[in-house]
Amino acid sequence: MSYASRYFPNEPTAPKVVTESIPGPKGKSAIASLGEVFDNRCAYFVADYEKSVGNYIVDVDGNVLLDAYAQIASIPLGYNNPKLIEVAKSDKMTRAIVNRPALGNFPGADFEQMQRDLLKHAPKGQTHVWNGLSGADANELAFKAVFFNYQSKKRGFDKPFTKEEEVSCMENMAPGNPEIAILSFKKAFHGRLFASGSVTRSKPVHKMDMPSFAWPTAEFPAYKYPLEENEEANMAEDARCLAIVEDRLQNWKCPIAGVIVEPVQSEGGDNHASAAFFQGLRDLTLKYGAKLIIDEVQAGCGATGIMWDHERYNITPPPDLVTFSKKMQSAGYWFHDPELIPNQPYRQFNTWCGDPKGVILAAAICDEVVDNNLLEPLRETGDYFYSKLESIQKQYPKLISNLRGKGKACFLAFDMPSGSLRADFLGKMKLAGVNVGGCADVGVRLRPGLTFEKKHVDIFIAAMEKVLPTL
C-alpha cells in the first residue's frame, strides 16, 4: 500500500468544483473581509485547512482541488499528515512553542538532540548547521558567515578588530564595513530582504524601491530543449556562462567573497544547468578564493527525487554552504568548515537563533521521507508525469514548449506562448480541479508534495486535456 493510501485513507479520489469561479461567493467575501486586516491582493482563494487532506486542498466554498503547487513548494507530506500531527502534539513541541527559547543564551536541555536529529539529514560533506527563520533569512545569514570568514582570514583569525575598524563600522564606512560582494545570477531568486534582495534578479517587483548593494551578476545557462538533441549547443552555453563568472571574479571592482546559485532557478523560470556547469563553478570559486553557496530552499528536501538536488552533480569538493527552508518547515544553512563559525561570539546571533519547533518538524519530515523510502516512488511518478507531459507537448506544440525537469521527479516545468495565455491556463486549471502555479513570465511550474502518485498525475493530465483545447 502506498504512503498516501496508508496515511490519507479519506483523501478524495477526484477533484470537485462546485462554484462557477474560484474563488466562489464565500471565497470572494472572505478575501474582501481579510483585506480589512491584511494585504489580500495576492490571495488566489481562501483555503479550509481543516478539510484539506493529503494531496488535495479545499477552499471555503467547498471546492476540492488536486494541489500541484503545495504552498509554493513548501508542503512536503500532504495536508494534515497524521505523523506530523502526532509530532505537533508531543510534549517536546509544546515546550518549544510555549517557552520559545532564546537559543543562543538559554538552549533547552533537548536542543542538542534536536540539532543532531536534523544533522542526520544534512547534504553529503556538511557537518554543521546554523538555524534561521525563513529562506531569505537563511541566505542572509550565509552571507554574513562568508563575509566574517573572508575578513577574518584577511585580518588573521586570532587578531582583534583594530580601533579604526571599530570606529568606522559605527559610521557604516570602511575599513569596518568593507566593500566586498556576493555574486549571483540573472533570473535568480534568493529572497526579499535587503542582502537577499540584492542577489535576487527574477522580477522588478521583488526589489523595487529598496536600497541595494552594487553586487555583480553572471548569466545562468539558458538551454535548448530537448536536452538530448542539443548537447553541443548546451555545452557551449555552459562555457559561455562560466567565462562570464570568471571575468566577474577577476575584474569586479571589489573582492567577491561568495557565489550563490540555485540548483534550479525556480522563481526565475525553472532554469536548469548541468553537472559540468556546477563543477566548473566550483572550480572557479576555489581558484579565486570565493565561497560557494547552494540555495536549496525550493529544490531541497526531496523535491527533485533526491534529498538535496545539488548532490546529483557530485560537486567536488562539496559546496561551502547549503541553505534550506520551504519543505523543511524550518530554515538555515549547512556547512562543514569550522572556520565559517565567526571568530567571536555574538557575531552570528539574534534573540531566537532559529526556531526549535521548526527544527523538530524538519527532522520529523526528513525521517518520514527516509523511513518510508518516499523518493523512489516519487522518481517513478516523475518519470511517468514527464512522459505524459511529453505527449501533451507533441499534441499541442503551439501551446506547450520547453518541457524540462526530466529525471527530477515531479519538479517539472514548461512554457506557454505568453503571460496572458499562461494566466488563462492557470485559471481554467483551477476550474478543472487542479491548483498549479507559474514562474517567470510564461512558465508553468509543477510543485506537488512528495506523496504525489501516478493516479494524481492522471487527474492532472485529464484536466490539461480538458483545458488546452479551450485556449
DSSP label of 338: G
337/156 Cα distance (integer angstroms): 16
Which run of H or E residues covers position 295? strand 291-295
**Which is catalytic among the residues 67, 137, 270, 295?**
295
Closest among 323, 289, 318 to 143, alpha carbons compared: 323
Residue in this structure with the C-alpha cell 477533484, named with its chain if needed: 15
Helices (H), 185-255: 194-199, 231-251
Closest among 311, 302, 448 to 374, alpha carbons compared: 302
Look up residue 365 and give its three cell numbers. Answer: 519530515
- Read off the amino acid at residue 424: D
326 is catalytic: yes
455 is catalytic: no
394 is catalytic: no
Closest among 316, 453, 462, 449 to 389, alpha carbons compared: 462
Are 111 and 356 a contacting pair, CB within 8 Å? yes
CA distances from 384 to 27, 225, 295, 375 (A): 34, 19, 28, 14
Q: What is residue 278's three-state secondary structure?
A: helix
Which residues are bridge partners to 446 per DSSP? Answer: 412
Give the 3-state secondary structure of 213-225.
Answer: CCCCEECCCCCCC
189 is catalytic: yes
Residue in this structure with the C-alpha cell 552571507, named with its chain if needed: 143
Are 412 and 386 a contacting pair, CB within 8 Å? yes
- Read off the amino acid at residue 318: P
**Which is catalytic among the residues 16, 247, 351, 441?**
351
**Which is catalytic among the residues 189, 278, 414, 460?**
189
274/100 Cα distance (integer angstroms): 42
Cis peptide before 178 (omega within 30 of 0): no
R_g of the chain computed on alpha carbons: 23
Contacts of 224 (CB under 8 A, 6+ apart): 230, 233, 234
Closest among 7, 115, 116, 104 to 348, alpha carbons compared: 104
Look up residue 224 and give its three cell numbers. Answer: 535548448
**Which is catalytic among the residues 326, 327, 357, 388?**
326
Are 131 and 330 a contacting pair, CB within 8 Å? yes
215/224 Cα distance (integer angstroms): 29
Q: Which residues are catalytic?
A: 189, 295, 326, 351
